[in-house]
């Protein structure tokens, strides 16, 4: 039995391919692993706040030294961190916006990247603490960025691999629906390819 954390970051609640395909992944996963529990975080329906000076101050203040305002400021972040720590599997729906992740997903990551909780500093450098987790990232993009002339514009995959790796998560699989704006046949082809990957990965 595993704990699955399902994060949706598309700002579109209808018509979102990353939302649609990640939901299909979760449905297939639950069918194959009926004993698992799923916790969902919808960053469009319930956005998390972007960092501000008060939050940063609270993060770097020991818990027993925080005043009431700081304790309140860090409360949601602590909950998000607890969810990430408890998860064995993390599924992220992440459409590409302007070559990178939606700002809501960046805000979420800023809330869980916490020194002393999800990573720590050592004499040999920072060490990630979110180990032994499997991450599936379902992404959709209008163009093709995994290869070819536009590959250098893919700051979504490079950022997520880097930041999750910093937090200790290195077992990452991308399910890409690419070229969805390149015509009906390109859309049909990439959706078919994505669904084959979903079928295989969710049943593993």
Residues 26-46 pLDDT 10s? 999 999 999 999 999 999 999
Classified as helix, coil or strand, 165 is: helix
DSSP secondary structure letter of residue 40: E
Strands (E) located in 68-203: 89-93, 119-122, 125-128, 134-140, 171-177
> Annotated binding site for FMN: which residue ranges?
10, 16-18, 96-99
The pLDDT score that the predictor gives to residue 7 is 98
Distance, in Å, from the CA atom of 174 to the CA atom of 122, rounded to the nearest integer, reads 30
Strands (E) located in 78-169: 89-93, 119-122, 125-128, 134-140
Distance, in Å, from the CA atom of 80 to the CA atom of 108, rounded to the nearest integer, reads 8
> Annotated binding site: which residue ranges?
10, 16-18, 96-99
85-101: buried (b, 16+ CB within 10 Å) or exposed (e) per residue? eebebbbbbbbbbebbb
Residues 100-156 pLDDT 10s? 999 999 999 999 999 999 999 999 999 999 999 999 999 999 999 999 999 999 999
Domain boundaries, the chain: 3-202
Give the architecture-level CATH label for domain 3-202: 3-Layer(aba) Sandwich (3.40)
The pLDDT score that the predictor gives to residue 204 is 84
Neighbours of 133 (CB within 10 A): 21
């Amino acid at each position: 039995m595993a704990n699955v954390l399902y994060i949706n970051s598309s700002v579109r609640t209808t018509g979102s391919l990353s939302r649609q395909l990640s939901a299909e992944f979760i449905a297939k996963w639950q069918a194959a692993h009926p004993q698992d529990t799923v916790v969902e975080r919808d960053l469009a329906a319930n956005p998390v706040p972007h960092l501000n000076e008060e939050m940063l101050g609270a993060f770097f203040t020991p818990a027993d030294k925080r005043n009431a305002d700081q304790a309140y400021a860090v409360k949601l972040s602590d909950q998000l961190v607890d969810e990430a720590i408890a998860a064995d599997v993390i599924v992220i729906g992440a459409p590409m916006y302007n070559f990178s992740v939606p700002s809501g997903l960046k805000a979420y990551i800023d809330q869980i990247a916490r020194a002393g909780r999800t990573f720590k500093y050592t004499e040999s450098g920072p060490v990630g603490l979110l180990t032994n987790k499997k991450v599936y990232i379902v992404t959709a993009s209008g163009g093709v960025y995994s290869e070819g002339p536009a590959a250098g514009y893919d700051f979504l995959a490079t950022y997520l691999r880097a930041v999750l790796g910093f937090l200790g998560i290195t077992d990452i699989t991308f399910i890409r629906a690419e070229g969805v704006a390149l015509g009906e046949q390109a859309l049909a082809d990439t959706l078919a390819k994505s669904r084959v990957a979903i079928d295989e990965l969710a049943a593993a």
